[in-house]
Structure 1
Amino acid sequence: MQRPEPPSGCGDRPTRRKARREERRDAILEVAKRYFLEHGYAGTTMSGIAASLGGSKGTLWSYYASKDLLFGDVLDRVTEVFRQQLGMALHRDAPVETALVTVCAEFLTRLTNPEAIALHRLVVGEAGRFPELGRIFYERGPQRVHSLLSRYIAEAMARGDLTQDDPDVAANVLSALCLAGHHQKLMVGMIDCLPPDEAEDWARKAVAIFLRTYR
């Protein structure tokens, strides 16, 4: 005897539940990001975020067991798109100079936008009282970007496109060249923004200086 088919759509219920849960997580991360930036890390509470969400504290805790875990995921969300773009730009088939200029321009643009500056100020201002905050920020942001860049430089050195040297040091040098001047001025409020064309122009200069040493 043929087994009756399940009611239409029953197999989709787990998928729909998962989709709703992900949508809820997205909403939590967006609200939490704004709350952290507005109130700082010390001034942010799980109760405050729950109130801003319009839900219960229990619902928030079912997603995140602590404020530091929530902050870590906020950082992941903020840097996710850039890491993806970085990975695509650092393609081994593209000329080294072209790839590095693209990456440096995007790197500088991302790190000098108002949200990134506000987040960086938050971490610098509160890391002394909350050392865990600095560790989370570094591991979720700068360290991951550095690893991608260092890996690309190591591969370029192995191919002979760059001079053999310590790729970690080289990645640090390039990052420092990218941020020299503009980022510090933004951090202390000497300038309000960095025009996109200026970001690309500075990226070309930074890469040119870098290549004088490593090519």
Structure 2
Amino acid sequence: MTDLMKKTVGKAGRPSRGEMAGRRGQLLAKALELFTKQGFAGTSLDQIASQAHVAKRTIYEQFGGKEELFAATIEQAATALISRFPTPKARCTDLKQDLQEIGCLVLDHVLQPRSLAIYRLVVGESGRQPKLARLFYEHGPARVISCVVSLIASYLPEGAPEPVCLARDFIAQVVLEKQQRALMGFAGKMDRAEIADEVARNVTNFLATLQK
């Protein structure tokens, strides 16, 4: 077989891993777009397959069903956010700086229109689809909190308070009030400087509790 024939066969054969990952990403992006626009119940797999230009059976083969597809969209968004976090260190260097960085990333993320739309979707559907809320939490907030746990644990001395509780408290301090105001529609858009100032205040308060 000549080199030209080999190249031709390669192009006509199975897609590369990069191409498959790209197609999967496009499918998840289209699914999330439809979920946030039309709601979970109002979006069908037929619609997603049609707009993502894939066969419906591809969705079943890759994800198993609509709930699992939704969970995958949340996981993809959480993974993209977490990839920007500072990595846990073997020894303490600057916990304040790392918490400031994480806090700014998380607060900016949850205040984005798409994130607010997802949260409204989950809350609105939770009565009819309780599994959806659990999937959202496990694939989104819980993964973020787990990363904060790893970071905080790497700084804490032996015998310090439980890092899981500390991580939850920190995320709640940074996110809760601002997210609620944004969800209710009476909070203006925060720029980077405002986010940094808000997070700095919360980081200072959080660190003060560790010293008590």
Name the TM tier (shorter chain).
Answer: 0.7 to 0.9
1:146 is matched with 145
Equivalent-residue separation in structure 2 for 1:170 and 1:23 (angstroms) = 37
RMSD: 2.4
Change over 3 Å in CA distance of 1:105–1:23 after alignment to 2: closer
> After the TM superposition, which residues 121-132 of structure 1 pair with which residues of structure 2 at under 5 Å, given as runs?
121-132=120-131
Identity of aligned residues (%): 25
Cα distance change of structure 1 residues 41 and 192 upon mapping to structure 2, 3 Å threshold: farther
Q: CA deviation at 1:193?
A: 2.1
Provide the residue aligned with 1:33 in structure 2.
32
User: Quick one: distance in 2 between partners of 1:22 and 1:165?
Assistant: 41
Q: Which moved more, 1:194-203 or 1:133-142?
A: 194-203
**Residues 28 and 180 of structure 1: is their aligned pair in 2 closer, same or farther, counting only changes over 3 Å?**
closer
- The aligned runs of 1:1-215 (5 Å cut-off) are 8-9=6-7, 16-86=15-85, 88=86, 90-91=88-89, 94-158=93-157, 164-215=160-211
- Residues paired across the two proteins, number: 208
Structure 1, unaligned stretches of length 5 or more? none
Distance 1:50 1:203, change over 3 A: same
Distance 1:93 1:11 in 2: 54
TM superposition shift of 1:104? 0.7
CA–CA distance in 1 between the matches of 2:200 and 2:88? Answer: 16
Q: Deviations over 1:80-115 (max 9, x none)?
A: 1111112x3554564111111111111111111111
SS at match of 2:22: helix
Q: 1:175-214 deviations in whole A, cap 9, x for unaligned? A: 1110242111001111242222111001100000011111
> Could you tell me how far apart the structure 2 residues matched to 1:155 and 1:180 are?
25
Which secondary structure does the structure 1 equivalent of 2:190 belong to?
coil
Once the two structures are overlaid, the 10-residue window that deviates more, 21-30 or 138-147, is 21-30
1:23-60 per-residue CA deviation (whole Å, 9 max, x = no partner) reads 32222111101100001111111012122234443344
Secondary structure class of the residue paired with 2:84: helix
Q: Which moved more, 1:9-18 or 1:20-29?
A: 9-18
Q: Residue 154 and residue 11 in structure 1: after superposition, are their counterparts in 2 closer, same or farther (change >3 A)?
A: farther
User: Where do 5+ consecutive residues of structure 2 fail to align?
Assistant: none
For residue 8 of structure 1, report the CA deviation from its aligned partner. 3.8
CA 109–94 in structure 1, closer or farther in 2 if over 3 Å, else same: farther
Query: Contact conserved, 1:90 with 1:100, CA < 8 A, in 2?
Result: no
Say if 1:46 and 1:180 are closer, same or farther in 2 by CA, change over 3 A. closer
For 1:16 and 1:46, locate their aligned partners in 2 and report how far apart those are by CA, in whole Å: 23
Instruction: Return closer, same or farther for 1:102/1:18 CA change in 2, 3 Å cut-off.
Output: closer
Between the aligned partners of 2:99 and 2:14, the Cα distance in structure 1 is 40
**Alpha carbons of structure 1 residues 18 and 180: separation in structure 2 relative to 1, 3 Å:** closer
